[in-house]
Structures are given as C-alpha cells and as structure tokens.
Chains A and B, each alone.
With several copies, the nearest count.
Chain A
Amino acid sequence: MTARPAAAGRKAVAGIPAGLGRAQLLELYYFMRLTRSLEERLANLYRQGKVIGGLFRSLGQEADSVGSAFALDRSAGDMLSPLIRNLGSLLVMGALPVDVLRQYMAKATSPTRGRELNVHFGDLERGFIGQISHLGDMLPVMAGITLTFQLRGERRVGLVYVGDGAMSTGAFHEGMNLAAVRRLPLVVVAENNGYSYSTTLERQTAVPQLVLKARAYGVRGERADGNDVLAVYDVTRRAVDRARAGEGVTLIELVTYRRKGHAEHDDQHYVPKDELARWERNDPIDRFVRQLTDSGWADAGELEAADARVAGELDAAVQAAQGEPLPEPASALEGVYVEPPRQAAPWQREVTRG
C-alpha cells in the first residue's frame, strides 16, 4: 500500500466531524485497537490457563467504550465508572494494559493487589472508579460522585455505563432518579448490545429502545450507533457539555452488539448465526479504518504505526506481567479497615499458615 498524498489528507481534515482533529482520530483508533488486541492477548492467556477467573470480551463494542470515554475531559477531572465490557473506557482514561493483565492474572502488583478480578479496579487519580459485580450499584455511586462535583461547584462531569440488562435493577432506577431530581452532571451510557447473558432484549424490557426510559426520569435521551466511534463521541460529548453547563443528566442509548458469549466459557449457542454474521460485517474498527482512509483522515502507514505501537506495548506488558508473583498470603488480612483492630483479635485465625 502506498501512502496517500499529503494534499488529500489536508483536504479531508476539514471535514472531520465533532470538532475532532487528526491526532485525536488516531488516538481513537489506537485505543480501539489496543482494546481489541489486549483482549486477544487475554484470550490467549486464558486458553493457557494463566487467567485465573473468567474472561469477558468487548469484541465489537470497542467504539462504544472508547468513543464515549474519549468525550470526557480528563484534565478537568471528569470521572467514569466502567462495566466488564468497558476495557476500552479504562484505557482511554489512562489505565495501563499491564495493570489489566495483572488483574486478570491476580498478581501482587495488580491495582487491587489480587483482591478483585478482571477490570474491577479503579484509580481516582486517573478518573475511574472500580465497579462491583452487583449490577446497577454504580448508578447511585456515580450519583454521589457527581453530587460532590455539584456541591463543591466543580465543573466536572461523571459518566456511568449500564447494560440493557442492568437497567432492570432497582439500584439503576434509584440512582438514575436521584441524579435526575438533582440535575447532577452525569452522563448515563446505556449499552444496548442485544443480550444480557442469554437473555434477549425483549425478555428484559418491554420497550423497543432503551432511550425511551429517559422519559420516566425527566432527563434528556439520545440514541446513537454504538459501532460508529465518531457518532458515539459526538453524542457523548454533547451530553458531557450539557452536564458541565449545569443542564443535568442525559441518558444515551448506544446500539451495539455483543459478538462473544457472556464470558469466554459461553459458546453462544442461543445466538442466531446470521445475526452474528451481520454484526461481524458491522465491526466498529473495520468501519473506522474505512472511514479514516476513505476520508483521507489517516493513511495506512499511520494506522500500521499505531498497530505496531499496540503490539509492542502489549508484548512488553504481557512479558512484564507474566513473570510477576502472586500476592503474599498473609497480605489478605490487611486493609479491611484503615487501622488494624486495636488488639490481637480472638476472631483472627487460630493458626498461622506456611
């Protein structure tokens, strides 16, 4: 492949939507590629038995995670809370691939020191907060985060992800409503990927579009193609801007698709083959590559360079993480409270382990 002439690139740059520049487009590409490649590395490690617990994939949903997180202003102190399929969001916020690998492999060096699994980790400095498994619970928590922004008069914005399935939880409802009543600077991204585990959308909710739920809370609703990273960025960015301007909550439905099973063990036998094939043709990275090259926003060389950077970084990360030790057993007892109990507690183990 020969590089496009620079002139074509310049011409096209004028047409980049959503106020983005070329460098940012390449960043978006980089993060989507990084997300996918990191998960592929993880899948390898999983097959080798090196991932301790389950493995969750976001194949086909990278645009949704990356585009939405990219709309936040990290330097302004914006924060988000991811779900299991938001590896891309974490990477955008500055999470290191090596830390993700450490998490999955339960290393002593992992952000949670081996206590929590997969992408269940957070980093206040980098602006993301770790989820727990109980679906919906992060809505109230992010309401509290953004309430704090509001109370302090800080112009910061929060973003929280929720799956089509998780929207059925009571916690989602309570958090959403509280945020709406107080017009908190919160963006709620509803990821409609068609499934919650094996459950299809119509067995999860009687509405055909998740965006309709916005009306019940008196918040603005938006809907976008979750596999179009620029559309995702654009819709999220507008919601973020509104939130920052004090205009309250937006619920954004991103329409996408879960191309893998719920977790790596799930063979998706309940998924129609043609449905899968259709969404494979709608791959968000392929689409973005076409868009980038067709519009002349990036040339093949730049994309290849990005790919190479991803591969190099991941080689190094896998290399680094793999050799690291598991946590010291007795470290398991530390940090339940800020201070250890005042005295030798009779309820601690009677025995010391080797």
Chain B
Amino acid sequence: MAEVTYLEALRQGLREEMRRDERVFILGEDVGRYGGAFKVTEGFFEEFGEARVIDTPISEAAIVGAAAGAAHLGMRPVAEMQFIDFISCAYDMLTNYVATARYRANLACPLVVRGPCGGYVRGGPFHSQNPEAAFLHTPGLKIVCPATARDAKGLIKAAIRDDDPVLYFEHKYLYRRIKEQLPEDGDLVTPIGRARLALEGTDLSIITYSAMVWKALEAAQVLEKEDGLHAEVLDLRTLLPMDDAAILETVKKTNRVMIVHEDTRTGGVAGEIAARINESAFEWLDAPVLRVTAADTPLPYAPTLEDFVLPQTADIVSVARKLAAY
C-alpha cells in the first residue's frame, strides 16, 4: 500500500491501462512532451512514445471526432480536455456523433473524454465549470465523477474498458488535496453505474458526487457532533447510468433526502434525481427532497463571490437541519 493523491491515482490508472492494452492511446492539447496542463500524463510521452501520447492542435471537436473514428476501428482513445470547460466546443460531436453511433449505425465508440472540472480554485467562469448536466440529457453517453483517489483510479480503468463512450470528470480541487492508501498491485476497477455508501446513517440521506462528497462528510460530522443527527452520505460516482437501486435504498432507510451538487441549480443533475425519487419512492418520503447547489450564475472569480455562489459545508448543515426538523 502506498499513499497516493487523487491525481496520482488517476495517472496510475491511465498508465496501467496503457501498459495492459496497446489499443489505448491518449490525445489532447499539451498532453505529450509537456505532460498535460495539470501533469496528469507526465512521463507518458517518455514511456509510451509519440504515437500513443499525441499532442493535438487546439481543436476540441477534432480531438473528440478523431477519438470516435479511432474507437470505431477498435482503438481505445482517451481524449483530454485541457480544462473541462472546453468540452463545450465538442458538444455537437459528443451529443450528435459519439452518443448516437451505436444506436443509429451499430458502431462501437469506446472512447473516454476526461478533464479537470470544478471550482473552489478561483478559476473564474471558464476554468471552473461542471458540465455533467449538459450531457446527462444525452442517451448513449456514460458519465463518471470520482470523489476519491481509489475511484479516480478505478473509474478511469473502468471507463477505458467500457464498450461505450464515457465522460470522466475529474475534480481539480481534489487533485492534490485528497490522498489515500491504495494497493500497489491488483486490478483496481470501480464498476460504472454503482454508487458507494460513503457514510452510513439513519436520520437523513445526502446524495452527492465528486468534490461535494467531502463537504457532505464534513457536514455529517458537524450534524453528528452538534445535533446528534446521523446523516447517510451516498456518493453516486456514476451519473449516467444512475444507480437507482442505491438511491432507493437510502431513501427507504432515512425517508429524508437532500441532493448536493456543485453545479448551478436550475437544470442541474439534482432535478433528475429528485424526479426519480419522487416517481419511485414518493410514499417513503417524510419531507420534500431538498437541493443544495451553486446559485444560478456564471461562476465569478473573486474569492468572496465564488465562495458565496458555490455550496459550502454550512449550507449542507443548515438544509440538513431543516430537513430533519420537517
């Protein structure tokens, strides 16, 4: 066992897959000689060579489109978006070409698009985005959002092995802040589509994913200490397809649910989850499903503003109290 960061875990996962399967290759801006803007692919160029770690022009649509073409022929491309915010430039390619390939043309399209998402880093409106809601709406895609180092590794490996296109959103705030002991050998794969119970509890459920898992756990500690409340924290890990069984289970257990995400509220992933809970477990609810999310604004740069717009631990605590008291 060695302690590795979230970023190092991701890097390990990528490296192991590239060693295991020569069909795997990486393409993106500055991923080669430079090792990627956040150094996720550092050392890869040296180990795997230019043909498997490909620096591209600044062309997100072409990066994703080329990955799709390669995937059709049996390759396993992993495309990096330098910041995930730039995935919007490949929106057409992902939603219209990639996502539909199997359905409309029986074309396999096993590619991964990954990149750093998320705020709390003073990145301003174009280096902090959380694009999951924009793609949740697209049948044919899968979406994973690791919160832990273990899942950073396990989900990238699963994503690469998956026979369908997977969007892998890694949270840049967690890159170097999260550390975990991981086994040095053995094949650590996190199954896509399965949530993880991050904390067992009985009084209320916090359904969340990505960096918010940590805020939820922090909030749970406060609630336990200050209110004697036992919050359960469900880390979804995969958003598409969603682990409905795990959601149902926690709802049935606590009967009080809140959903926490970093993304803006309107049209965010929480709406979908709330609707599903409503449809499948209405009679189990003792209180309305509540949401803690970012406010509906572009994400501002100034620390005072960013902190105000993004969800904070205190927000989770306060909504949890409201829920518990309902």
| Contact between chains at B301 and A343 (CB < 8 Å) | no
Q: When A and B form their complex, what is the total count of cross-chain residue pairs whose Cβ atoms lie within 8 Å?
A: 280
A181 within 8 A of B: yes
CB of A115 within 8 A of CB of B265, answer no
Which residues of chain B have C-beta atoms less than 8 A from A197's C-beta?
29-30, 34, 37, 82
Whether, in the assembled complex, A24 has its beta carbon less than 8 Å from a beta carbon of chain B, the answer is no
Specify which chain B residues have a CB less than 8 angstroms from the CB of A329 in the assembled complex.
304-305, 307-308
Q: Which residues of chain B in 47-72 are interfacial with respect to chain A, using CB atoms and an 8 Å cutoff?
A: 51-52, 54-72
Q: Is the CB of B72 within 8 A of A333?
A: no
Using a CB-CB cutoff of 8 Å, which residues 180-208 of chain A contact chain B? 181-182, 196-199, 203-205
Q: Which of A106, A168, A175, A343 contacts B65 (CB under 8 A)?
A: A175
- A322-354 toward B: CB 8 Å interface, digit per residue (1/0)? 000011111111011111011101111111010
Q: Which 6 A-B pairs have the closest CB atoms?
A: A144-B69, A140-B65, A114-B302, A144-B66, A198-B34, A174-B62
Q: Are A141 and B298 in contact, CB atoms less than 8 angstroms apart?
A: no
Please, could you name 10 A-B residue pairs with CB atoms under 8 Å apart, sorted by A? A52-B303, A115-B302, A140-B62, A141-B66, A141-B69, A151-B51, A178-B62, A326-B304, A338-B102, A350-B319
**B300 x A332 contact (CB < 8 A):** yes
Which of B139, B142, B244, B301 counts the most A-chain CB atoms under 10 A from its CB? B301
Indicate if the CB atoms of B58 and A144 lie closer than 8 Å: no
B125 interface residue (CB < 8 Å to A): yes
Residues A137 and B140 in contact in the complex (CB < 8 Å), given A52-B302, A198-B33, A199-B57 = no
Q: A143, A145, A166, A205: which contacts B62 (Cβ < 8 A)?
A: A143
Please give the distance in Å from A328's CB to the nearest CB on chain B. 7
Q: Is A218 an interface residue (CB 8 A)?
A: no
Cβ-defined contact, B57 with A106, below 8 A: no
- State whether A106 touches B73 (Cβ < 8 A): no
Please tell me which stretch of B93-101, B152-160, B217-225, B229-237 contacts chain A, meaning at least 4 of its Cβ atoms lie within 8 angstroms of it: B93-101
> How far does the alpha carbon of A168 sit from the alpha carbon of B295 in the complex, in Å?
34
Q: Interface size of A by Cβ–Cβ distance < 8 Å?
A: 77
Neighbouring B residues of A145 by C-beta, 8 Å: 69-70, 72-73
> Once bound together, how far apart are the Cα atoms of A33 and B298, in whole Å?
35
Interface residues on chain B, number (Cβ under 8 Å): 91
- Inter-chain CA distance A347–B268, complex, in Å, is 11
**B295–A332 contact, CB under 8 A?**
yes
Given contacts A52-B303, A141-B65, A338-B164, is CB(A148)–CB(B73) below 8 Å?
yes
B92 interface residue, CB < 8 Å from A? Answer: yes
The reply to whether A347 and B265 form a contact with Cβ atoms under 8 Å apart is yes
With A137-B65, A270-B33, A332-B295 already in contact, the answer to whether A53 and B123 are too (CB < 8 A) is yes
Nearest opposing residue in chain A for B310, CB measure: A332
Verify if A236 is at the interface (C-beta below 8 Å from B).
no
Q: Is B163 an interface residue (CB 8 A)?
A: yes
Complex-state Cα separation, A199 to B82, whole angstroms: 13
Chain B 261-275 near chain A by CB (<8 Å), digits 1 or 0: 000011000000000
Whether B202 sits at the interface, judged by CB under 8 Å, is no
- Residues on the B chain within 8 Å of A107, using CB: 302
Q: Are A350 and B318 closer than 8 Å at their CB atoms?
A: yes
- CB contacts (< 8 Å) of B43 on chain A: these are none
Q: What residues of A have a CB within 8 angstroms of the CB of B319 in the complex?
A: 350-351
Contact A343–B244 (Cβ < 8 Å): yes
**Proximity bits, A100-141, B CB within 8 Å = 1, else 0:** 000000111000101111001110100001101111110111
Q: Is A170 interfacial (CB-CB < 8 Å)?
A: yes
A147 and B70 form a contact (CB under 8 A)? yes
B197 interfacial by beta-carbon distance below 8 Å: no
For A205, the closest partner residue in chain B by CB is: B57
Q: Which of B85, B102, B104 contacts A337 (CB 8 A)?
A: B102
The residues in A between 66 and 122 inclusive whose CB is less than 8 angstroms from any CB of B are 106-108, 112, 114-117, 120-122
Q: Which residues of B contact A296 (CB under 8 A)?
A: none
* C-alpha spacing A114/B93, complex, angstroms: 22
Query: B267-326: which have CB < 8 Å to A?
Result: 276, 279-280, 290, 292, 295-298, 300-309, 312, 314-315, 318-319, 322
Interface centre among B68, B83, B297, B302 (most CB of A within 10 A): B302
- B65 touching A53 by the CB < 8 A rule? no
Chain A residues in 8 Å Cβ range of B309: 332-333
Q: Are B292 and A134 in contact (CB under 8 A)?
A: no
- Give the chain A neighbours of B133 by CB distance below 8 A: none
* A326/B303 in contact, CB under 8 A: yes
Give the residues in chain A near B307, CB-CB below 8 Å.
329
Known: A121-B105, A197-B34, A346-B279. A116 touches B124 (CB 8 A): yes
B72 to A129, Cβ gap below 8 A? yes
B276 touches A346 (CB 8 A): yes
Closest chain-B Cβ to A306's Cβ sits at a distance in Å of 31
B68, A144: Cβ atoms closer than 8 Å: yes
CB-CB contacts below 8 Å: B117-173 with A: 122-127, 139-140, 142, 163-164
Known: A140-B93, A326-B302. A175 touches B127 (CB 8 A): no
A13 within 8 A of B: no
Nearest-neighbor residue (CB-CB) of A106 within chain B: B302
Q: How far apart sit A336 and B298, CA to CA, in the bound complex (Å)?
A: 8
Which residue of B105, B280, B298, B315 contacts A130 across the interface (Cβ within 8 Å)? Answer: B105
With the chains together, A15 CA to B303 CA distance in Å? 53
Instruction: Name which residue of chain A comes closest to B139, CB basis.
Output: A336
A115–B59 touching, CB < 8 Å:
no
Q: How far is the CB of B5 from chain A (nearest CB, A)?
A: 18
B42 → A minimal CB distance (Å): 12
